[in-house]
A and B are shown apart, each in its own frame.
Chain A
């Protein structure tokens, strides 16, 4: 049991790390929304690159978290893919109370990120459609549209 508790503690640390990452991501998404609204491409590019860095760090966090979950699953004799934080908290009982709080916080943070992500996605999608509409309006008649069939905006070279 002492090994399980030790892994529980390690998992708590990993979840705290994930929770901080989710909160940071939420801020980045809010900044991205502002950049879209303010029509400042430079700011949008900057915040997007920060998100890129953030996304890159997600796999490292996952790599740190997954062995812990696998060991706990082995100790509890369940398949790692079937183990959730909710079931773990139930199994740990009193020993899982802090973990349970963390789970709720993480769930709330992740939900906010998801909502914000949907919101920004919708916003970016709309802006993008309008932008394309205007570009086609401007360039459609003279055959200058570098986006038709070129496949990549970088080919515009402007």
Chain B
């Protein structure tokens, strides 16, 4: 009995010692990351059979176990991944925010304002080369800043790619450590003893791995964990599958696990945050900056290409853009404009080319229609080349080259033709008959026109072969047939095109000039009245002035309301119609009109007439183009002709080198007139105009871009704060379950101490007390 009793005491002592050692272990590891509090599980010792009785054998320590909540640990791993993804994104995005910040007025927004200020200053001093240089420098500063921003954004992207590589290395190291811990845990637990501390270390390593990449963890019955990333095995039972990262040119990151067929796409952890930044955020930002730069090129060049520099028009002009050989057949001319591979698209529209006579300053405007779905590059060049004063071709690099003949210059501005009736079809001195309606007209094939000239009568024949479609004969085709007829030449008769009408007139002027329309099968279709037409000695002189302020291009047609003399015939008026036939204005030029007095037509354009006879009967008419945009097709932008900027995106944008070398080429004028600043005013309108591709003005777009980044950062920060709170809550819960509360452990130990002390004192008293009783007995 005495032996059994001492064994019970010894077991109790050992159990107590184990418990206290466990407490000590807990306290010692109170600050060890990932340590889980351990507790001793006490149980009754196996009873002993003695003399037919089963006797209790006291207490023993069954096992030391960790206090962990596996479900909570799993949630912690998952939330940790989300938090570190957001944190990584936030860190990277904050560097971009700093980059796009506007320190010291050197940001894009401030530089854009500076550039517009420089253009504004130039608009008041268009001939001052200092202001021109300032405006060019303003444009250069914008492009330089764009290059700088893009370079730095690219560098951030490359840094993020490199960081992804480092993270992959860290992931592999962590995976290797988990694999080793797996093996150690398995070895220890095979003996039936829980590997508490090893499991803690492994849990901690898994949590650290989850900071790098989101993982799925599964533990098998032997205590080995298998870890997957995006459904693929990173840590197996026997080995790890190393992660590799390949970086692409545009921020792409291809992440693979050794032996897997498809790449992985992490959704959590620092790696996911860095990848999202490199592949998403930076590329989005690059697209926005490219869009911004591209819009700068397009919008500024739209204005600039139709403007005129300080020295007037061009003798020669080369495009900055090469026409690509899209189909690779060696012929750059054969592609339709719509499919020619231009960086900027060509629209259906019209291009006005102005030819200036250097000596007289006389202007001639030619309107070219551009239909990108029907016109090839070659067709367009042929149209340009067909202008007698110009030759157009592609140079060896595929760039369009336009050259004017000697004594002529050209430009693509929008001057108002101050003398719109050069042909004298409106009360001019020639004997003249004009079609009363616009071509095209339907001529009978082989139709004839019988005329009597100064020397003979002759018959003109309109053969179908002279027309693209004789049933829709154009004014130019009809005039070409007439002017090529030997009878007309012999009688000094000519046809001129006025708008879309044909005027038949004598070569000379004065009342002695005459011809007669005799008849013919085509006469009805042409609308001329049979009869005699006589020139006049006093011709009407027409002059236009002002600047067209209308919003669209138009062609105005001026016709008298009847027959009479300007300034003399009561009630005589001039009817002005636009190209749709709508009446624009009625100008009173009867007996109350004083010769040469300008009359306002509309939209800032005035006209004046000198005295002379006009005839509605003879079809007197003149037309003039009023131009708001002399290139509605944007073909000049597509070909890079007379642009301010070159390039197509934030990397390639630059001020055209010719302008950098010679700021006088900066187009300030819209008309070529001295002192005109129409092109600059159009440029300045861009500051507040909405740009379709940007969804607002340039300033608004940039502000929105900065604001958008700020908002995204703010959203990410908020999300990160929420995740931080969640992770902290989970960590606190884990700590409350698995953490060591040093105070609590010490309180336990001190409680024991106090209890033992008190017990010992009374045991001593009892001892003395019992001595007394024993002495008595």
The answer to whether A and B assemble together is: yes
Q: List residues of chain A with CB under 8 Å of any chain B CB.
A: 18, 22, 25, 29, 32, 36-39, 41-42, 44-45, 48, 51-52, 55, 58, 62, 69, 84-86, 103, 106-107, 110-111, 113-114, 117-128, 130-132, 134-135, 137-138, 147, 153-154, 156, 158
B interface vs A, CB < 8 Å? 5, 8-9, 12-13, 15-17, 19-21, 23-24, 27-28, 42, 58-59, 743, 746-760, 762-767, 769-770, 772-777
- Least CB distance from B10 to A in Å reads 10
- Whether the pair B748, A41 counts as a contact (CB closer than 8 A) is yes
CB-based contact B747/A158 at 8 Å: yes
18 example contacts (A-B, Cβ-Cβ < 8 A) are as follows A37-B8, A37-B12, A39-B19, A45-B755, A48-B755, A55-B765, A85-B776, A114-B770, A118-B767, A120-B759, A121-B760, A123-B12, A124-B763, A131-B753, A134-B749, A137-B24, A158-B746, A158-B750
- Given A18-B773, A120-B759, 12 other A-B residues pairs in contact with their CB atoms under 8 A: A48-B759, A52-B758, A84-B775, A85-B776, A114-B770, A122-B9, A124-B760, A134-B21, A134-B749, A135-B746, A137-B28, A138-B746
- Set of chain B residues within 8 Å of A42, measured between Cβ atoms: 751
Bound complex: CA A147 to CA B756 (Å): 15
Of residues A18, A22, A44, which shows the largest number of chain B Cβ atoms within 10 Å of its Cβ? A44
Q: Which residues of B sit under 8 angstroms from A37, Cβ to Cβ?
A: 8-9, 12, 15-16, 58-59
Chain A residues contacting B751 (CB-CB under 8 Å) are 41-42, 45
Would you give the shortest CB distance from A103 to chain B, in whole angstroms?
Answer: 5
A48 near B774: Cβ-Cβ < 8 Å: no
Is the Cβ of B753 less than 8 Å from the Cβ of A135? Answer: yes
Residues in B whose Cβ lies below 8 Å from that of A131? 20, 749, 752-753, 756
- In the bound complex, residues from chain A placing their C-beta under 8 Å from that of B21 are 134
CB atoms of A127 and B777 under 8 A apart: no
With contact pairs A124-B763, A134-B24 given, residues A45 and B13 touching in the complex (Cβ less than 8 Å): no
Question: Which residue in chain B gives the minimum CB-CB distance to A136?
Answer: B24
Instruction: Tell me the smallest distance from the CB of A140 to a CB of chain B, in Å.
Output: 11
Please measure, in the bound complex, the distance between the C-alpha atom of A130 and the C-alpha atom of B776, giving whole angstroms.
38
Instruction: Identify A138's interface contact among B5, B28, B757, CB under 8 A.
Output: B28
A69 to B751, CA, bound (A): 43
| Residue pair A124, B58 in contact (C-beta under 8 Å) | no
Asked if A127 and B756 sit within 8 Å, CB to CB, the answer is yes
**Are A55 and B13 neighbours in the complex by a CB distance under 8 Å?**
no
Please tell me if the beta carbons of A36 and B12 are within 8 angstroms of each other in the complex: yes
Query: Nearest Cβ in chain A — how far from B769, in angstroms?
Result: 5
Q: Which residue of B lies closest to A44 (CB)?
A: B755
Contact A127 B13 (CB under 8 A): yes
A41 and B752 contacting across the interface, CB-CB below 8 Å: yes
What distance in Å separates the Cβ of A50 from its nearest Cβ neighbour in chain B?
A: 10
B762 touches A48 (CB 8 A): yes
Please state if A25 and B753 are interface contacts (CB–CB under 8 Å).
Answer: no
| A128 contacts B16, C-beta separation under 8 Å | no
Asked if B763 contacts A62 (CB within 8 A), the reply is: no
Given A48-B758, A130-B20: A39 in contact with B767 (beta carbons within 8 A): no
Question: In the complex the two chains form, is B24's CB within 8 Å of A113's CB?
Answer: no
In the complex, which of the residues B17, B24, B58, B776 has the most CB atoms of chain A within 10 Å of its own CB atom?
Answer: B776
Q: Which residue of A lies closest to B777 (CB)?
A: A107
Contact A44 B759 (CB under 8 A): yes
Inter-chain CA distance A38–B746, complex, in Å, is 18
- Residues of chain B within 8 A (CB-CB) of A125 are 756, 760
CB of A134, distance to nearest CB on chain B (Å) = 4
CB distance A55 to B748 under 8 Å?
A: no
Give the complex CA separation of A42 and B755 in angstroms: 8
Within the complex, the shortest CB–CB distance from A16 to chain B, in Å, comes to 13
| Complex contacts, A58 vs chain B, CB 8 Å | 769
Contact, CB under 8 Å: A127 / B769? no
Shortest beta-carbon contacts, A-B, top 3:
A37-B12, A128-B756, A41-B751
CB distance from B41 to the nearest CB of A (A): 13
Chain A contacts for B772, CB-based, 8 A: 62
Report the Cα distance A37→B10, complex, angstroms: 10
Which residues from chain A contact B743 at a C-beta distance below 8 Å? 158
Pair B770/A110 contact, Cβ less than 8 Å: yes
Q: Report A-chain residues with C-beta under 8 Å of the C-beta of B12.
A: 36-37, 123
The residue among A69, A125, A153, A154 with the most chain B CB atoms within 10 A of its own CB is: A153
In this complex, what residue of A is CB-closest to B21? A134
